[in-house]
């Protein structure tokens, strides 16, 4: 194996602290201090990127599904700035995926793009295989790929319902199944849910159900991986300025939604990427089996 491959056994003292050390951290670290530390790290990384500083590799590898645009693209770029080698997954938007690869490589990082439909178990396996071949392993998986079809129960078509369940429910399962097998000890697994599971607005029923499943998946998988120091969580964004949310809405409707948050704006993909980055950091290890709501206070 060449020297530029990632070791399958990273520095355990840094990435996988002893149980005694974990107990000491749990006893001494106040939650507020932890949040301050991760927030400061996020700001520092953002400033480093803005000033043109080069990415410093951390020897770890991340897969982000559905990352050609929106929250997925912002997350892939953010994790790259944190030092991860990143696999960017897309279904149709190859050009957008390559834009993110170029962005990361121009900053001194490593990235590849891989086409895969997460509803296809064989395609997901090839996605993980390509990552293993390129970078030597997997430390973080962010299961972000999803589709949204809105209609009342009375008018929802079988085709729209089936596609949402194939991508969001089965696709999420396909990705988490491989993550459970392939993510190295002390890694992170994050599955994207949605705050709509709490808002429960009309026409969102089947979509909310497919996203609520991610919360159950994360809670159960965290327990199944006990002893490996892998933290598994669901991330539930709120109203985010992506085409998934804005398509089909008038400017007036979008402005009305923005006013529903205490910050009186829509979230941006980067807002969610920052929280995912914090969960993937060393400081985020103790958050496990949870659903993290990042919605600007809309609920």
Domains and CATH numbers, the chain: 49-294 (3.40.50.720)
User: Quick one: pLDDT band at residue 246, thresholds 50, 70, 90?
Assistant: confident
**How many of the other CB atoms lie within 10 Å of CB of 5?**
12
**Model pTM above 0.75:** yes
pLDDT of residue 12 exceeding 60, the answer is no
Q: Which residues, 6 or more positions from 296, have their beta carbon under 8 angstroms from its beta carbon?
A: 238, 239, 261, 262, 263, 265, 267, 271
pLDDT digits (tens, 9 = 90+) for 46-103: 444 454 657 877 899 999 999 999 999 999 999 999 999 999 999 999 999 999 999 9
Any idea what the Cα angle at residue 18 is, between residues 9 and 290, rounded to 5°? Answer: 90
pLDDT digits (tens, 9 = 90+) for 13-40: 345 654 444 444 344 333 333 333 333 3
User: Quick one: pLDDT band at residue 290, thresholds 50, 70, 90?
Assistant: very high
| β-strand partners of 236 | 293
The residue from 84, 90, 204, 207 that is catalytic is 207
Known catalytic residue at 84: no
């Amino acid at each position: 194996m060449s020297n530029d491959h990632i070791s399958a056994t990273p520095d355990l003292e840094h990435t996988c602290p002893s149980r005694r050390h974990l107990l000491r951290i749990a006893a001494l670290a106040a939650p507020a201090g932890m949040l301050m530390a991760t927030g400061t790290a996020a700001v520092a990384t953002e400033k480093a990127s803005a000033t043109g500083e080069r990415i410093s590799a951390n020897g770890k590898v991340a897969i982000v599904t559905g990352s050609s645009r929106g929250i997925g693209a912002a997350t892939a770029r953010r994790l790259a700035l944190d030092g991860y080698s990143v696999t960017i997954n897309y279904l149709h938007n190859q050009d957008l995926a390559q834009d993110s690869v170029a962005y990361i490589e121009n900053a001194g990082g490593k990235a590849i793009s891989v086409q895969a439909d997460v509803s296809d178990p064989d395609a997901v396996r090839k996605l993980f295989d390509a990552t293993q071949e390129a970078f030597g392993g997997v430390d973080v998986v962010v299961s972000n790929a999803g589709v949204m079809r809105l209609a009342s129960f009375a008018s929802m078509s079988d085709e729209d319902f089936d596609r949402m369940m194939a991508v969001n429910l089965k696709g999420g399962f396909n990705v988490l199944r491989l993550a459970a097998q392939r993510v190295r000890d002390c890694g992170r697994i994050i599955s994207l849910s949605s705050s709509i599971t709490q808002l429960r607005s009309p026409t969102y029923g089947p979509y909310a159900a497919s996203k609520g499943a991610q919360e159950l998946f994360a809670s159960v998988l965290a327990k199944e991986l006990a002893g490996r120091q892998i933290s598994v969580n669901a991330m539930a964004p709120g109203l985010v300025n992506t085409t998934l949310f804005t398509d089909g809405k008038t400017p007036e409707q979008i402005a009305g939604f923005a006013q529903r948050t205490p910050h009186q704006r829509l979230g941006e993909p980067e807002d969610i990427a920052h929280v995912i980055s914090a969960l993937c950091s060393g400081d985020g290890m103790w958050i496990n089996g949870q659903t993290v709501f990042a919605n600007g206070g809309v609920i």
